[in-house]
Amino acid sequence: MTLLHVIEVIPGLSVEEERAFYDRLERRARGQLNHWGARLEGQLISWRQEVLFGHRAPECVRYAAAEGVDLIILTAPRFEPAAPTAGWGSLSYKVGLLSQCPVLLVK
């Protein structure tokens, strides 16, 4: 299993220009991935982590295609009856539309 985290690059603020800022985000992301990886290890599931920089939805879809991913699992935004279309701009919605492999949304 691959645990993927994409750090959104702020337009006009390149990774090279703000190395300390992006390094701090990467350390936090890796810490969270290690936390979830330890839970997988407890269930005897092998895992690895990947941290990428870019725009989240396109990077997730690109990575899945390049690596031949069989299934993408994402959390889904909660449905709000007062605003039923609110989740249409979410990462899970975009990846679900753009991905060439199946996508499982978990609530």
What are the domain boundaries of the chain?
A: 1-54, 69-107
Quote the pLDDT of residue 87. 65
Buried-state track 34-65, b at ≥16 Cβ within 10 A, e below 16 = eeebeeeeeeeeeeebeebeeebbebbbebbe
Residue range 6-60, pLDDT digits in tens: 999 988 887 888 899 999 999 999 999 999 999 999 999 999 999 999 999 999 9
Q: What is the pTM assigned to this prediction? A: 0.85
Residue range 83-106, pLDDT digits in tens: 767 667 789 989 999 999 999 999
Is residue 105 a contact partner of residue 91, using CB atoms and an 8 Å limit? no
